[in-house]
A and B are shown apart, each in its own frame.
Chain A
Amino acid sequence: MSFTVSPVAIVFFFAVIAVTLGITYWAAKRSHTTSELYAAGGRINAWQNGWAVAGDILSAAVLLGGVGMFFTSGYDAVLYAFPVLMGIVIALGLVAGPMRRLGRFTFTDAAAIGLSPVPIRIIAALSTLAVLLMYLTAQMLGAGGLIQILFGIPFAVAVTIVGLLMVIYVAFGGMLATTWVQITKAVLLVTGISLLGILALAQTDFSLDQLYARAISVHRLGANLMQPGGLGLSRIEATSLTMAFAFGIPGMPHLLMRFFTVPDPVTARRSLVVGISVMAFTFVLIYLVLGPAGVAFVTDNPAFATASGGVQGGTNMVVLHLARSVGGDVIFGLIAAVAFATILAVVSGITVAAASALSHDLYVHVFARGRADERRETIIFRGSCVVIGAAGIGLGIAFQGQNILFLTGLLFSIAASSCFPMLVMAMFWSRLTTAGAVAGGAVGLGLSVGLIIIGPSVWVQVLGNAVAIIPLSQPAIISVPAAFATMVIVSWLGRRTKTVLT
């Protein structure tokens, strides 16, 4: 890898660390109770929460992976974007208001109402931890790779730095620090990519027509660059992918926790309108401007090519090459710092939710049966942050060099197949029984994990088998309906048995 370490990038890198640690210091002085640690005291307003929600969704995978995917597969990259916005609309229409009314700190608070709390909290906490630890691992792998490439730091050291920073942010500053780190990162991201978009368009005298013509002329797909089909997904796989994002987003535990940081249901819903606007603006820039610009200015550019004809650092680095190509070292440093801030903010959001599942759902409500005092719960929460941080560092190092795409696909499938059905059925279906909720959650969790393992992402690409047992890279099209159906059938059978016995 022949990346040169950029002094400008290093300055921006330390500026990001300094600003975020400053936010944590400020937030730590205001975060003492469980309400403050888990939910920022419910004092965040709609605009702030909207930007923080956008920050939660716009991970490094969107910035680096979005431009990189357009670079290799063209227009099909859009399949990874618009279902996310669908997911936000579903969260807004179905989940946000009732969640804010019913819950306190975690989505399990809402899912457990009216059911036996212990089994529900156990299965919900397990799903939460499965989803979030995979998300954390994927982000850690991205962080380690990025920092290693940009600054020449060994992978394990890079992952450890990110892990330590996220533990400091969350253990001391709680949700308040995490929210403001997310807001800062989201503003930086939107500013950075807007600047990059302007600079890229300036290369073609602000003519989108010329930019697209140039991209089409250099890409292997030619005119097909702007046609669907570049990813080679079947119709069923595309539908399954859409389902995973559309139902996974409103089931993501760290996103659901954001509804508790605002004072009321109206603010929770309004914040999603702000959030979806920020996300849509970012997607337009990434998929319709920076993606084609990456193709136009990085393809065939000898400054960014490897000896074998690939791209230095892999296709995830295309946006950074684009930044260097159209903006020089300063813009390169800025975008690199934005990517780093993005990773730090997202792992912090994940850590808050995962630590809350350990301390609030498992410790307080399962082990202590709801009898833990506030002081003890805050200590357990901070200890849980350290445990999650250590797990993130360990998993990041253990999975070094692994394909992280299957982890990302898996976590959205699990959230869509387990967390989302449990939450929706518990909130809206009066006939749901505890056995039905637990069975459905377990079937969703087990099926999504099992089908991914025997699908092409793991069975062929990771385990090296010639053919997958099931030719679906995304199992949501099977696991989501199966989870809902199991909840209905088990609840119905349970009630029928009860009726017969009485």
Chain B
Amino acid sequence: MSSPAREVQPLDKRGVFFAVIVIALAGVFETVMYSAPGVFARPLWAGSALTLALVLGFLSFLIPVVIAWLICRKDAPSMASQSNPGTRP
């Protein structure tokens, strides 16, 4: 007979799903960075010094914020009672 398994925390499926999404997007970003760096150099309009690098960089900072908001969007207020009494005021 094997020893009994420990009691563990349930995984937050929503959190895991979005964490995987953000990791996948980072993979895409780095793949483009290393496989097709020229994409970053494309000007936003003819003769402009602003390139796609600016837009992609901005998105790499903005998307994690949106994903963080999506993870917490449906947090139930009832979760508030699941705290450890050790540090409650």
Contact = CB atoms under 8 A, between A and B. Distances in A.
Are these two chains actual partners, yes or no? yes
29 contacts: A42-B83, A81-B60, A81-B61, A82-B26, A85-B61, A85-B65, A89-B71, A94-B16, A98-B9, A104-B87, A105-B86, A226-B41, A227-B53, A228-B37, A238-B33, A246-B26, A263-B80, A264-B82, A265-B80, A269-B75, A273-B65, A284-B61, A287-B57, A288-B58, A427-B8, A428-B8, A430-B6, A495-B3, A498-B2
Given A75-B57, A277-B65, A209 B49 contact: yes
B80 A114 contact: no
Nearest to B25: A86
B62 interface: yes
Contacts of B1: 499, 502
B19 A209 contact: no
Contacts of A216: 49
Interface in B30-89: 30, 33-34, 37-38, 40-41, 48-51, 53-54, 57-58, 60-62, 64-65, 67-69, 71-72, 75-77, 79-84, 86-89
A39 interface: yes
Given A35-B86, A89-B18, A235-B34, A276 B65 contact: yes
Interface of B: 1-3, 5-9, 11-12, 14-19, 22-23, 26, 29-30, 33-34, 37-38, 40-41, 48-51, 53-54, 57-58, 60-62, 64-65, 67-69, 71-72, 75-77, 79-84, 86-89
B48 A103 contact: no
A266 interface: yes
A235 B30 contact: yes
Given A102-B84, A212-B49, A263-B88, A88 B18 contact: no
Main secondary structure of the interface of B (DSSP, over half): helix
A284 B56 CA distance: 11
A100 interface: yes
Interface residues of A, number: 74
Contacts of A82: 26, 29, 60-61, 64
B50 A209 contact: yes
A409 interface: no
Given A89-B64, A266-B80, 4 more contacts: A93-B15, A105-B86, A114-B7, A264-B79
A270 interface: yes
Given A42-B89, A432-B6, A208 B50 contact: yes
Contacts of A495: 2-3
A383 interface: no
B78 to A, nearest CB: 9
A310 interface: no
A5 interface: no
Contact of A264 (B5, B9, B14, B83): B83
Interface string A68-103: 000000010010011101101110111001101111
Interface string A211-238: 0110010000001101111000001001
A365 interface: no
Nearest to A277: B65
A130 interface: no
Contacts of A228: 33-34, 37, 40, 53
A173 to B, nearest CB: 17
A270 B73 CA distance: 9
A427 B16 CA distance: 14
A499 B2 CA distance: 5
Instruction: Tell which of A89, A260, A269 has the most Cβ of chain B within 10 Å.
Output: A89
A83 B86 contact: no
**Interface on chain A toward B: helix, strand, loop, or mixed SS?**
helix
Contact of A41 (B15, B30, B80, B89): B89
Given A90-B19, A94-B12, A209-B49, A273 B87 contact: no
Nearest to B53: A226
B2 A265 contact: no
Given A75-B40, A223-B41, A92 B30 contact: no
A101 B7 CA distance: 14
Contacts of B64: 82, 85-86, 88-89, 276, 280
Contacts of A226: 40-41, 51, 53-54
Enumerate the 9 nearest inter-chain pairs by beta-carbon distance, A residue then B residue, closest first. A93-B15, A430-B5, A114-B6, A213-B49, A42-B87, A85-B64, A93-B19, A104-B86, A212-B49
A276 B19 CA distance: 14
A267 B48 contact: no
A498 to B, nearest CB: 6
Contacts of B77: 266
A82 B8 CA distance: 31
B2 A35 contact: no
Which of A209, A260, A429 counts the most chain B CB atoms within 10 A?
A209
A78 B19 CA distance: 20
B72 A270 contact: yes
Contact of B26 (A43, A86, A265, A277): A86
A88 B67 CA distance: 10
A115 interface: yes
A86 B22 CA distance: 6
A49 to B, nearest CB: 13
A41 B15 CA distance: 27
B75 A270 contact: yes
In this complex, the member of B48, B65, B81, B82 whose beta carbon has the largest number of chain A beta carbons within 10 angstroms is B65
